[in-house]
Amino acid sequence: MRNLILIFSIFCFQFSLSAQPKPTSTSTKSSSSISISETDDNYNYHASFSDNDLRQSIHELISSKINIKASKRGKKVIWNDSDDNYSIVLKSHKLTAEIDLKETSKSVADKIMAILKEASLLMNSKVIPVTPATPYIHNHN
């Protein structure tokens, strides 16, 4: 009788484990690293990011803000002026930029730096997707 109760208890325990719902959501960890160096002559920006979805978002951001058509070389997307005074290069998990501050106008250099700042904010933001059926409501409490 004791063995029968033990077997029945094990069966019920296993059944209860298999009856529990399995988690349907997944969690991902995203990280980024950004390095900026600036001298009187040059501005250099190097960023790496782990989130695969960021590449498309960064590409759309740069394309919408800069007035130069990007060229593609393999998996690289490159924006640069005809004189190579500046360049922005987007790879699968990296964004780099170099600006020759002596040859690039201040307004163009400032615009590129602002775009890179937006890209940095995008890399470091925690975005929670909102479905179209769920409007975003912000309470100021």
- With a cut of 60, say whether residue 1 has pLDDT above it: no
Instruction: Tell me how many domains the chain contains.
Output: 1
Nearest residue to 88 (alpha-carbon basis) of 125, 44, 33? 44
CATH number reported for the structural domain that contains residue 83 in this entry: 3.30.160
Mean pLDDT for the chain overall: 78
Nearest residue to 90 (alpha-carbon basis) of 79, 101, 104, 81? 79
Nearest residue to 118 (alpha-carbon basis) of 57, 30, 41? 57
- With a cut of 80, say whether residue 6 has pLDDT above it: no
- State residue 83's pLDDT score: 86
Confirm whether 91 is domain-assigned. Answer: yes
Beta strand residue intervals within the chain, DSSP E: 32-38, 42-49, 71-73, 76-80, 86-90, 94-100
Range of the domain at 68: 32-124
- With a cut of 80, say whether residue 16 has pLDDT above it: no
Q: Which residue has the higher pLDDT, 86 or 52?
A: 86
Confirm whether 78 is domain-assigned. Answer: yes
- State residue 14's pLDDT score: 54
Confirm whether 51 is domain-assigned. Answer: yes
- State residue 115's pLDDT score: 96
Confirm whether 8 is domain-assigned. Answer: no
Confirm whether 138 is domain-assigned. Answer: no
- With a cut of 90, say whether residue 21 has pLDDT above it: no
- State residue 29's pLDDT score: 52
Q: 108-133: per-residue pLDDT in tens?
A: 999 999 999 999 999 887 443 433 44
Q: 61-96: per-residue pLDDT in tens?
A: 999 999 888 999 988 999 998 888 999 999 999 999
Confirm whether 65 is domain-assigned. Answer: yes
Instruction: Name the burial class of residue 100, with classes exposed (0-12), middle (13-18) and buried (19+) by CB atoms within 10 angstroms of its CB.
Output: middle
Confirm whether 25 is domain-assigned. Answer: no
Confirm whether 70 is domain-assigned. Answer: yes
Q: 29-50: per-residue pLDDT in tens?
A: 568 899 999 999 999 999 999 8
